[in-house]
Amino acid sequence: MTQDLSAVQGRDNVWEMAQRQLDEVAGLIGLNESLHGYLRQPKRVLEVSVPARMDNGAFRMYTGYRVQHNMARGPGKGGIRFHPDVTLDEVKALAMWMTWKCALVNIPFGGAKGGVICDPKRMSMQELENLTRRFTSEISIIIGPEKDIPAPDVYTTPQIMAWIMDTFSMQHGYSISGVVTGKPLAIGGSLGRDKATARGCMYVVDEAMEALGKTIEGARVAIQGFGNAGMYAAQLMDERGYRVVAVSDSHGGVANDEGLDVGRLIAHKFETGSVVGFTGGHRTDNREVLEYDCDVLVPAALEKVITRENAPRITAKIVAEAANGPTMPDADDILFDRDIMVLPDILANAGGVTVSYFEWVQDLQANFWEEEEINERLKRKLTRAFREAHEQATRHGVSMRKGAYCVAVARVAEATKLRGLYP
């Protein structure tokens, strides 16, 4: 019984899941054993204790992490999440995925990620600022425009990025806007960054629809998760001609086979804090949204929501992972066997890091671009990444995830090999 339980826990561990995904493509690209072992482990793991002053004057201790997986192709890049369920294994997995994501879209970054174990929903703005500034000071020894550039993630915002930038800048005595991306426009943010993840997701779904010979107009879309990525995905895909038929957030969901009025739905979300109670559809839940009758499913919430239990019931022909790690490896195999094209997270949500790269470039140059130019650059990057991943998937007869990994891991391995080991 103990052995069986360990096997189940191993399958559910997100870090082991990330390593397994690497292992599965190592043979396809002929990755040598030494490089394979090197890429399975993070370059650097920093764990910090973060004392933060509460509104009552007392200090509370939090635990934070910053993980840098591989920086052979450039400085680290990756978000910081504030969430009560943050774990070191989760942050390590997310850092590894960032390495592959940056390599797949061919931007000169390595993978990194950060997190603080906290519940920002139960903190005041002042407490959140105190926590952010202290966490920044603790990790400042390994971040910077040429070292590692954080960005927003789960429950972190442009305002939090502004506090990180200001804290880091105060330590150095001058403004350093390139230390983070996802900042407000007023202090060096980029146009198009707020919708970048969703827009990139739509671009690769468009490519997948074309590859499968499907028509965009009227294609049914279900979206699980209605935060930044999910909400803007609904808006952009609705404008593009898709029909959004079901959405959900952490409180529940709403569906309408005739199509939801996305504009009214977003207004309802801002007004009430949830899609629940929207009068333009019937009540549903997160589980039902995943299994809803649709052409395109967009999981845009947290990890591990598509499992071997629900994968046989998914009806979509395309699953576009706007979230990180929503599909378990066993579920991946089931979906592939059912001829469902999974657009992996390192491709489907790479729009965010791509426009973060654009923001970093603009900050370093002090030369800012128009939004139309940013969106066009993003489209070129994501379209090329889809086609390269699709070519590898077709060549090897494997899933799009493995095709994308073939492209990404080969690029990181080549850079690592060329640079060699010092000393």
Residues classed as catalytic: 113
Residue 366 neighbours by CB distance under 10 Å: 9
Residue 79 pairs with which residues in a beta bridge? 151
For CA atoms 69, 75, 76, 77, the dihedral sign is: negative
Residues in the chain: 423
Q: Which of 384, 389, 383 is nearest to 401 (CA)?
A: 389
Alpha helices in 105-179 (DSSP H): 125-139, 158-172
Reported as type and span, the H/E element at residue 230 is helix 228-240
Q: Are 129 and 93 in contact (CB under 8 A)?
A: no
- Contact criterion met (CB below 8 Å) for 77 and 356: yes
DSSP helix/strand/coil, 251: coil
Residue 314 and residue 340 in contact, taking contact as beta carbons nearer than 8 Å: yes
Please, are residues 415 and 72 in contact by the beta-carbon 8 Å criterion? yes
| Percent helix, strand and coil across the chain, each to the nearest 5 | 50, 20, 35
Cis amide bond preceding 152, omega within 30: no
CA angle 156, 77, 153 (to 5 degrees): 15
What spatial distance separates the first Cα and last Cα of the chain, rounded to whole Å?
Answer: 47
Beta pairing partners, 83: 117
**Rounded distance, CA 232 to CA 210, Å?**
22
